[in-house]
Amino acid sequence: MFTVIVKIHPDFSCHFTRLIMYSGILLVFTCYVVAVTAQAPPFKETCVHGSYPPSKSRDVPEYTINLDDPPSQRWNKVASDKRNEMRNILEAFKSFISEFGEFASAVIYYIDLLGPGIIDIIPQPYQDELKGISNVTGIELGEVILYNIFYEIFTVCTSVIAENTAGELYHARNLDFGLFMGWDVKNRTWSITEKLRPAIVNIKWMKNGKLLYKSVNYVGYVGILTGISPGRFTLSMNERFNIDGGYLGLIELLFTGKGTWMSFLTRDTMEQAESFNEALNMLTSKQLIAPAYFILGGNKTKQGCVITRSREVNGTDIWYMSDKSAGGWYVLETNYDHWKAPLFLDDRRTPANICMKNMKQKGVGIPGIFDVLSSKPVLNKLTTYTAIMQVNSGHLETWLQYCEDPCAPW
């Protein structure tokens, strides 16, 4: 009789544990996707026509923010008017988080507790703006910070820049938000998505008595996801799904101070860049806390591109609309690298490209592009708004979007 002793290397044990953990997460995720998909009635992918203009009831309010005001006072009007909408979004988000157990609830508790400390990692003037929003709304500072963080992680979008036959550039985007955040089985909607629409506003940013740029914001979110610098450039940001994502970047920022908030970088770009080339340089030269796609349009023919960013500067890819693989007269981005196939469960790219090609270059304009972005599944249950910008005129219009059944959940 003899005994065999097997010594397991600590690294093997660690990797095996991770494998079990990730397998469990994947299983839960798969079950969730199957359950949600089963609730969605079948729909036919079609390119709609004549959807513009939508009902005026879907227009969004406009506010002005004066950058000459002290940062702590800039958001007073809009935050005061929309404090209830902010509270509703946060309560829905915290309710969703609490479903993950006591640990997740504890995270919220400590964010509230440590808010005054966490604020120190946020650069000025955003630090004082967040403090001002907290004071006006009565929402804990930590939760105002949380409110700004989760927009950096959970957005799913479609952006397109197209040039008409006269050489004019149009930049449009759908902003889809709330993926996997509370599927309402009865109404077949996402709970966070439904709470977000009332919080959408257009903002005119003024400095020295002049219009500097315009943006579309969720109230209380101080960064920029969609913006136009009239006569200069247009910009939108889409999330890039990557294992080296926002959570890791946020942790690194907390412990090392390395990295830039995506939405702060886009806002800095809107406020400082004087041209397409200056904006391009700013968006490609700084380390980020999360991977992203920056969709940037200029004011000259063929001046449109998709910037694919990792957290690090290395590996940045710039895909111009003049590239044959882009379309020649347009460039379109969802949430997947343009050189890779999209996830088969989330292929908005192919239907969007089909509708763009059906529209043809001669159809480029506000009505035509609105039709493309109103076609399912480009339009889906997560879509909160469609924004359309024209750089030369400085025009920006934003419409709340709803996807009536039958409609894809994402």
Write out the catalytic residue numbers. 157
Q: Which amino acid is at 134?
A: S
Q: Which residue has the tokens 């799913």?
A: 156
- Centroid of chain to Cα 145: 16
3-state secondary structure of 165: coil
Q: Which residues pair with 208 in a beta bridge?
A: none
Cα–Cα distances (Å) from 211 to 155, 269, 270, 280, 387, in that order, read 28, 15, 12, 22, 19
Q: In the chain, count of helices (H) and strands (E)?
A: 12, 15
DSSP 48-63: --S--S--GGGB--EE
Whether 308 and 293 have beta carbons less than 8 Å apart is answered as: yes
Other beta carbons less than 10 A from residue 61's beta carbon: 14
- Whether omega before 54 lies within 30 degrees of 0, making that bond cis, reads no
Beta strands at 200-207 and 62-66: parallel, antiparallel or unpaired: parallel
Cα–Cα distances (Å) from 372 to 250, 290, 352, 386, in that order, read 35, 29, 7, 11
163: exposed, middle or buried (C-beta count within 10 Å: 0-12, 13-18, 19+)?
Answer: buried
Q: Which amino acid is at 265?
A: L
How many Å apart are CA 259 and CA 122, to the nearest integer? Answer: 11
Give the chain's end-to-end CA distance (angstroms, integer).
62
Stated as kind and residue range, the H or E segment containing 253 is helix 246-256
How many Å apart are CA 121 and CA 384, to the nearest integer? Answer: 30
What angle in degrees, to the nearest 10, is found between the helix axes of 141-149 and 126-137? 120
Q: Which residue has the tokens 């590996």?
A: 315
Residue 143's Cβ-side half-sphere holds a number of Cα atoms within 13 Å equal to 21
Structure tokens at 300: 């000259």
